[in-house]
Chain A
Amino acid sequence: MRDAIRLLLNGRAVELRGVDPRMTLLDWLRVRRRMTGTKEGCNEGDCGACTVSVTRLENGRPARRALNACIQLLPMLDGCAVTTVEGAAPAGRLHPAQEAIVRLHGSQCGFCTPGFVMSIHAACGPGAPPEADSPPDLLAGNLCRCTGYGPLLEAARQARAAPRPDWEPDDEAMAAMLRGLDDDEDLRLEGGGCVAHAPASLESLCALAAERPGALLVAGATDVGLWLTKRLDEPAELIFMHRVKELRHITEKDDEITIGAGARYVDARPVLARAAADLGELIRRIGSVQVRNAGTIGGNIANGSPIGDMAPALIALGARVELRLGARGRSLPLEDFFIDYGRQDRAPGEVLTAIRLPRPADPARLRCWKISKRFDQDITAVLGAFDIAVEDGVVRHARIAFGGMAATPRRARATEQALLGRPWTEETVEDALPALARDFAPIDDMRASAAYRLRVAGALLRKRLIEDMAPGAPTRLAGTREGAA
C-alpha cells in the first residue's frame, strides 16, 4: 500500500503525501506551486485555458495527452509526467508551438495562449491520436475570444511538421522514467478530510467498492470534476478507477467487441470507428481532445446522463453492460440499465466493468446524428441512432434509440414497430412519425424546445431514408458524408 502520489512535473520527480485528493491539478499548480502560466478560464473543462500536456504509459509505450488541469484530480496524475507551459521549453528557447504562434500573430490577449501551446505540444509528442492531423479537431477544446483561430490552426499545422525539440527525452527514456513511477501497489491517500483509494487491480477495486458503498467512484472525472468545482461537493471518500489496467482493455473478436469500462474515448475510438463509421464520427463530436483523453465510455454510461452521447448509439447496436458487486458479476442489456432520470440499475458498491457490443455486420449500417448548437464540444439537444436493415426493400431490422428526448437514453419502440415489415419508403417513414410522438414527450430547455426536438427526431428518420434512397446526395454538414462541395 502506497500513501503518496508520484509524478513528474516538468521533468522533476514530485511526491505528494497528505494532500487533499479532491484538489484539482490546476489549483495545485497555481495556488500551491505558484506556477501561474496555466490559466483558469472556466473551471469546468470547456475552455482549455488550463491545458497541460501529460505523458502516461499506454500499453507500455509513452503517450502524450492534452488534459484540462481544472478537472483533473491530483491522484489521477499518479504515474504521469506533467508538462506545463513553464516546462514546454528551456529558458531562452521556444517550443515549435510557441515559435509558430509568435511568428503567426496567434496571440492577442494571451490568456488562452498557454492552453493552445500545450494542446499543440501534446500533439507533437509520442502516441498522438488521429485528430492531431486535423487542427480544427485538435483545438476544438481550446476557446479563443480574440483571434478567430486562423493563426492558431496554422501554428498547429506547422508545429506538427517541425522536428521534435532536442531537449525532449526520447520515447525510450520517457518510458523508463514512467515505468519508474509505476507499480502494482494500491494507493491510499488521505488529506483535507478526505480518503481516497486508487487500487491497482480489478479485484482490489471491486472489493473496495463493495466494502465502501458510500464512496464515490471516479473514472475520468470529466463530470465528477464539475461536481467538485461547480457544485462544490465535498465527498468524504473517493475510489479512483484509472489505475486498474484490466478495465482499460479493449478486446475485439469476430462477433463481439468488449470495451473495458475504464477505456478512454481516445483509446476506444479507432476500434469503434472501424466497427461502425458513424460511431467514430460521434466520438469525434463528444467533448474535445482534452475531454476524450480523460473521459471513459464506462463513465459516460454509469453516470446515466439523459443525453450521454454513447448510450443511444450503443443501445441501437444492442450493447450489454457487465457489472460486478464484490466477486459477483452480472450482465444486462444497456437499455435496461437506465431506469429513470439520474437512476441506473447499479447497486451501491457495484462497479460497471465492461460494455459488450455485437460487432455490426456492416460498419455503414448504423447511422447516428448529434444535433447541438455547435458542432464541437457541445452538449446534445437530440441524438438519434438508427440501426435499420432492409432486405428486398422491406425493413427487416430496426433498432432506434434517442438521447435528449426523455429522462434517459431510450429506444423508440413504437417507431421501430411502425417500420418493421414495411417497405422502406417515404410513405412508411411519414406513417411512422406519429409513433415517434408516442415514443417521446421531450422537454423545453436551454438547448432546444420540445417542439424542435420532436421535429428533428422525425427529420433524422427522414434523413436515414434519404441516405439510402439517394446515396450520393449530400446530407451532412460535418463528418464523413460531407455536404460541402
Chain B
Amino acid sequence: MTDPERIKGGVATPVPHDSAVRHVRGEAVYVDDIPEPPGCLHAAFGLSERAHARILELDLSEVREAPGVVAVLTARDLPGANDVSASAHDEPLLAEDEVLFHGQPIFAVIAESHLAARRAARKARIRYQDLPAILTIDQALAAGSLLEPMREMVKGDPEAALAAAPRRLRGRVELGGQEHFYLEGQAALSVPGEGDEMTVHASSQHPTEIQHKVAETLGVPFNAVTVIVRRMGGGFGGKESQGNAPACLTAAAARLLGRPVKMRYDRDDDFLVTGKRHDFRIDYEVGFDDQGRILAVVIDQAARCGWATDLSLPVCDRAMLHADNAYHLPHARIRSWRCRTNTVSNTAFRGFGGPQGMAGIERVMDHVAHALGLDPLEVRRRNFYDPPGGARTLTPYHMTVEDCVIAEIVDELAESCAYARRRAEIAEWNARNQVIKRGLALTPVKFGISFTLTHLNQAAALVHVYTDGSVHLNHGGTEMGQGLFVKVAQVAAEAFQIDLDRVRITATDTGKAANTSATAASSGSDLNGMAVRDACEKIKRRLTAFAAERFQTSADQVRFLPGRVRVGEEEIAFPDLVRMAWEARVPLSATGFYATPRISWDRAAGRGRPFYYFAYGAAATEAAIDALTGQWRIERVDILHDVGRSLNPAIDLGQIEGGFVQGMGWLTMEELVWDEAGRLRTHAPSTYKIPAAGDRPRHMNIRIWERGENREPTIHRSKAVGEPPLMLGISAWLALSDAAASCGPAYPALDAPATPERVLRAIARARGERWP
C-alpha cells in the first residue's frame, strides 16, 4: 500500500540500486558494451620487458605487418603532450628513450580487432640496455630515491617522553600492496567529432581529469573534449587516474586516423600497467605505562610509490593522518618516506593510505598488549580519543577531534558480540587443541572525511524539471557500484517530494557538470548530494515564489508535500504546478554547487583541520588457523558501523560488507609477488587471489549504528561510507595474529598479507623456532 504521506524512495529508504534490474538482465552498458560506431578500431599497448633500461632499438616492422594492423603509434606520433600524470607531469603515455618499469607502455597498435591488436603488440623487437633498477623500499632508501624529501608531523616532545616512559618497545610491520581487481578492466572509446572536437566514453572516476588530459594530448582547449561516464564495473580508486592512459591513447589515435578507437586492457595487461595500493613498511617505537597507556610514539612509514608521482604524495599524507587511528597519542613523531622505485606507479585505492597508517597503529596496540599480557581490547580502550568535550582530543596534526564516538561503538559491539565470553572460550579451545588454533580481535576505525587537498572539496550539479513534472538529474559524481546515483536521486526526490521513479539518473558528462573533482575520498554523496539539493532548492524557491504570487499568499504558506504542493488551503499536483510555472515563464532548470566548510590544511607544516568530520566503526573478527600448515579461515565477524543517518541503509550495508571483505582480502590472501627482475608474477586471478564466496565469514553480523548522526550539517546528517569499512578488515589480520600468538610465548609479528606461509612463519616466531 502506498502511503500518501510518504513519497516512494525518499531518503533513508532501502531502495535497490537504480541499475539493479539492468545488472541482472545484462542490460547495464559498460564502455565495451556500447555499440561500436562504424569503422571503430581497437588499440593495445606494447609493454616494456625491463624494469629500467634505455631503449636502444625499437623495431616495429613486424608489428606493422601483422594482420589487421592499421597503425602503430610511438611517443613521436602523439599530436600534443605525452603525459597522463594526475599530478607532476612525470608520466609519459608512451615511453620515449627510457623505460622505468616492467610493463610500461612503449607503443600502441591500432587494429581492426581487439585480438589483432593484442597479437601484433607482441611482435616488437626491442633492444634494451639495462640500467640499475630500484625495486624495493630498502633499495630506494639506500639510494635516496624519493619522490620528495621525508615528511614529518610532530606533536609534543616524543623523544623525551619515550625516554621517560616506564616501558618501551620497537617493532616493524610490512604491509603488502593490493590490486584493485575491478571486474571491468580499464576501457575507453574515443569518437572524433567535427573540427577539434572529441567525445570520450570512459570508465573513470574522474571525467574532468580525463577531459583535461585528453585535451592536452590533442593540443586543444578543454571545451573541445566531452567525457561521458555512465557507470564503471568497479573502481575502488583504481579508476581515479589510471583511466587517463587508455582515454588519451584512443583520443590521439582517433584524431590521427579520423576513426573511432576503443581500448580495453586485457586483464594481465591491466595488472602489469596500472598502479595498485602502496605497500608500506612501518617501523615503530612506543613508550607506554603498565596499564598499556601510550605515552609517546615514533612511527616511520616508508611507502613504495613506483616510477611516477601519480597520487602518491596525498596517499602518503593520508597514511600519516591515520597513524593515530582512534587513539590519543600524547607525544608523537610521524615520518614518511615516499620511495621512487622501478615498479608500477602506485595509486589511489579505497582508503588512500589511511588503511596502511591505521594498520600500523593497530599493530602497535596489539604488540603493547602482548608485552603487558593484557587483552588488546583493553589496551585499545585505554587509548581512545575522548568524546566531545574531553581533554584527550588533539591529533598529531593538531586538529581537535570534536565528534569521537568510538568508545560508545566499541562498548556496544563488545557486548553484542559477547567478546569477553568468546575470549575465554577461545583460550580454552586453544589449550585443548594442538592443530587448529583460534584467535579474536576487535579493532576500531576512525576515518577522516574530506579531500586533504582542500580545493577539491567542491561539487556541481544540474537539475531540470520538465513540464510533466519529471526530473532530469546530473552531477559530477560517478557511479562505480557504490550506489551514489540512487542516493543522490533520493535526495532530489526528497527535495521535490516526488517519487523516486520520477527522477531520471543520467550519465556523468563534463558538458553538464563542469570542473568537478574525482569521485573519491568517500565524498560522493556528501558533495554531490549537497550540490543537487542546492539546485533543487533553487527551483523550489522559484516555484514557491510563483505559487505564492499566483494564489495570493505568502511564501511560508507554500509547502511541498508528497506528490503535491500545498499553497494556502489549496493542494496542487506537482506536475500541474510545474506546468503552470512554465506557462508563467519561470525557469525550471538550475545548477547547484557545494563547497565543504570548516576545512583547511597546511601540508608543509603538517597541521590544520583537514577533515570536516570522522566516520567511525568497529569489527570483531574470529579466525582459525591450522598450526601445521598456516592455512586459515575467517569464521565470524561482527560489525557496528556509523554512517550518520543513513541515506539508504541497503546501499550502506552493502558498502560495509564489501568494504570489510576487501580489507580482509588485502591483509590476508591478496599477495603481489615481484621477482628479482622487477616482473610482477601475480598478474591475473589465477595467481592473485581476491576473496571468493567461500572466504566470506560463515557468520557475519553487520549493523548500522542506530545512534549515528553527523554532528556537522551534511546531507541529511549522513556520513560517508565508501572507504571507512575497508579498514574493519584489519580485525581479520589481527585475529590471525592472535591465533598465532596462542602457539608460543613470543610476539608473532605477523606481516601482511597473512598467507599460509606468513602465518606459519609467525607461528615459528611465537615458538622461538628457527625457520630454515
- A positions within 8 Å CB-CB of B: 27, 30-31, 34, 36-44, 46-47, 49, 84-86, 88-89, 94, 97-98, 101-103, 105, 107-114, 117, 135-137, 139-140, 142-153, 230, 232, 369, 371-379, 381, 445-449, 451-452, 454-456, 459-460, 462-463, 466, 473-478, 483-485
Q: Are A107 and B24 in contact (CB under 8 A)?
A: yes
Report A-chain residues with C-beta under 8 Å of the C-beta of B27.
37
Q: Are A449 and B757 in contact (CB under 8 A)?
A: yes
Q: Are A37 and B26 in contact (CB under 8 A)?
A: yes
Q: Are B635 and A484 in contact (CB under 8 A)?
A: yes
Minimal beta-carbon separation of A370 from chain B (angstroms):
10
Q: Are A477 and B696 in contact (CB under 8 A)?
A: no
Q: Are B689 and A139 in contact (CB under 8 A)?
A: no
Q: Are B696 and A146 in contact (CB under 8 A)?
A: no
Minimal beta-carbon separation of A236 from chain B (angstroms):
15
Q: Are A86 and B26 in contact (CB under 8 A)?
A: yes
Report B-chain residues with C-beta under 8 Å of the C-beta of A232.
115, 118-119, 122
Minimal beta-carbon separation of A229 from chain B (angstroms):
8
Interface residue B548 (Cβ < 8 Å from any Cβ of A):
no
Q: Are A373 and B234 in contact (CB under 8 A)?
A: no
Query: For the complex, what is the distance from the CA of A451 to the CA of B696, rounded to whole Å?
Result: 30
Q: Are B234 and A146 in contact (CB under 8 A)?
A: yes
Minimal beta-carbon separation of A291 from chain B (angstroms):
11
The residue that A147 contacts in the complex, of B28, B433, B657, B690, with Cβ under 8 A, is: B657
Query: For the complex, what is the distance from the CA of A150 to the CA of B695, rounded to whole Å?
Result: 11
Q: Are B24 and A101 in contact (CB under 8 A)?
A: yes
B727-772 contacts to A, CB under 8 A, are 755-757, 760, 771-772
Known: A107-B17, A146-B481. 17 other contacts (CB 8 A): A98-B24, A110-B20, A111-B183, A112-B183, A142-B693, A144-B183, A145-B662, A230-B684, A371-B629, A373-B689, A375-B631, A448-B757, A451-B771, A456-B629, A466-B435, A477-B633, A478-B631
Query: For the complex, what is the distance from the CA of A30 to the CA of B694, rounded to whole Å?
Result: 30
Minimal beta-carbon separation of B157 from chain A (angstroms):
43
Q: Are B696 and A41 in contact (CB under 8 A)?
A: no
Chain A residue at minimal CB-CB distance from B26: A37
Q: Is the interface of B mostly helix, strand, loop or mixed?
A: loop
Minimal beta-carbon separation of B349 from chain A (angstroms):
12
Smallest CB-CB A-B distances: 7 pairs? A37-B26, A109-B481, A111-B233, A110-B23, A85-B26, A483-B436, A108-B481
Query: For the complex, what is the distance from the CA of A108 to the CA of B480, rounded to whole Å?
Result: 8
Interface size of B as a range? 35 or more
The residue that A148 contacts in the complex, of B14, B23, B651, B696, with Cβ under 8 A, is: B696
Interface string of B210-237 (1 = CB under 8 A from A): 0000000000000000000001111110
Most buried by B among A38, A381, A459, A462: A459
The residue that A109 contacts in the complex, of B118, B184, B685, B698, with Cβ under 8 A, is: B184
Interface residue B80 (Cβ < 8 Å from any Cβ of A):
no
Q: Are B24 and A102 in contact (CB under 8 A)?
A: yes
Minimal beta-carbon separation of B185 from chain A (angstroms):
8
Query: For the complex, what is the distance from the CA of A451 to the CA of B761, rounded to whole Å?
Result: 10
Minimal beta-carbon separation of B354 from chain A (angstroms):
19
Minimal beta-carbon separation of B498 from chain A (angstroms):
23
Report A-chain residues with C-beta under 8 Å of the C-beta of B23.
101, 107, 110, 113-114
Report B-chain residues with C-beta under 8 Å of the C-beta of A47.
183, 267, 685
Interface residue B700 (Cβ < 8 Å from any Cβ of A):
yes
The residue that A111 contacts in the complex, of B114, B234, B632, B757, with Cβ under 8 A, is: B234
Minimal beta-carbon separation of A9 from chain B (angstroms):
14
Minimal beta-carbon separation of B693 from chain A (angstroms):
4
Query: For the complex, what is the distance from the CA of A136 to the CA of B685, rounded to whole Å?
Result: 18
Most buried by A among B25, B429, B691, B692: B692
Report B-chain residues with C-beta under 8 Å of the C-beta of A88.
25
Q: Are B693 and A109 in contact (CB under 8 A)?
A: no
Report B-chain residues with C-beta under 8 Å of the C-beta of A369.
629
Q: Are B20 and A107 in contact (CB under 8 A)?
A: yes
Q: Are B233 and A39 in contact (CB under 8 A)?
A: yes
Q: Are A102 and B626 in contact (CB under 8 A)?
A: no
Q: Are B695 and A105 in contact (CB under 8 A)?
A: no
Report B-chain residues with C-beta under 8 Å of the C-beta of A230.
268, 684
Interface residue B624 (Cβ < 8 Å from any Cβ of A):
yes
Given known contacts A37-B27, A105-B16, A109-B231, A474 and B21 CB-to-CB distance under 8 angstroms: no
Report B-chain residues with C-beta under 8 Å of the C-beta of A101.
20, 23-24
Query: For the complex, what is the distance from the CA of A136 to the CA of B180, rounded to whole Å?
Result: 22
The residue that B658 contacts in the complex, of A84, A108, A455, A484, with Cβ under 8 A, is: A108
Query: For the complex, what is the distance from the CA of A129 to the CA of B624, rounded to whole Å?
Result: 29
- B positions within 8 Å CB-CB of A: 14, 16-17, 19-30, 32-33, 35, 113-115, 118-119, 122, 180-185, 231-236, 266-268, 429, 433-436, 480-483, 624-626, 628-633, 635, 650-651, 653-654, 657-662, 669, 671, 673, 681-682, 684-687, 689-696, 698, 700, 755-757, 760, 771-772
Minimal beta-carbon separation of A69 from chain B (angstroms):
12
The residue that B653 contacts in the complex, of A94, A105, A447, with Cβ under 8 A, is: A105
Q: Are B694 and A108 in contact (CB under 8 A)?
A: no
Q: Are A105 and B20 in contact (CB under 8 A)?
A: yes
Q: Are A474 and B433 in contact (CB under 8 A)?
A: yes
Q: Are A139 and B435 in contact (CB under 8 A)?
A: no
25 examples of A-B residue contacts, CB within 8 angstroms: A38-B26, A42-B685, A86-B26, A108-B483, A136-B694, A136-B696, A145-B180, A145-B182, A145-B183, A146-B658, A148-B658, A230-B268, A232-B115, A232-B122, A373-B755, A374-B691, A446-B671, A451-B771, A452-B760, A454-B772, A473-B433, A473-B435, A475-B436, A476-B436, A477-B626
Query: For the complex, what is the distance from the CA of A466 to the CA of B433, rounded to whole Å?
Result: 12
Query: For the complex, what is the distance from the CA of A144 to the CA of B235, rounded to whole Å?
Result: 13
Report B-chain residues with C-beta under 8 Å of the C-beta of A460.
628-629
Chain B residue at minimal CB-CB distance from A139: B693
The residue that A40 contacts in the complex, of B22, B32, B268, B669, with Cβ under 8 A, is: B32
Report B-chain residues with C-beta under 8 Å of the C-beta of A452.
630, 756-757, 760
Report B-chain residues with C-beta under 8 Å of the C-beta of A153.
693, 696
Report A-chain residues with C-beta under 8 Å of the C-beta of B17.
105, 107-108, 110
Q: Are A151 and B654 in contact (CB under 8 A)?
A: yes
Query: For the complex, what is the distance from the CA of A481 to the CA of B652, rounded to whole Å?
Result: 37
The residue that B685 contacts in the complex, of A46, A94, A107, A459, with Cβ under 8 A, is: A46
Most buried by A among B24, B113, B625: B24
Most buried by B among A148, A454, A473: A148
Minimal beta-carbon separation of B204 from chain A (angstroms):
14
Q: Are A149 and B661 in contact (CB under 8 A)?
A: yes
Report B-chain residues with C-beta under 8 Å of the C-beta of A97.
24
Q: Are B700 and A150 in contact (CB under 8 A)?
A: yes
Q: Are B696 and A150 in contact (CB under 8 A)?
A: yes
Q: Are A474 and B760 in contact (CB under 8 A)?
A: no
Q: Are B626 and A36 in contact (CB under 8 A)?
A: no
Query: For the complex, what is the distance from the CA of A462 to the CA of B180, rounded to whole Å?
Result: 38
Report A-chain residues with C-beta under 8 Å of the C-beta of B700.
148, 150
Minimal beta-carbon separation of A235 from chain B (angstroms):
14
Report B-chain residues with C-beta under 8 Å of the C-beta of A462.
628
Minimal beta-carbon separation of A213 from chain B (angstroms):
26
Q: Are B435 and A445 in contact (CB under 8 A)?
A: no
Most buried by A among B21, B267, B628, B630: B628
Query: For the complex, what is the distance from the CA of A194 to the CA of B685, rounded to whole Å?
Result: 29
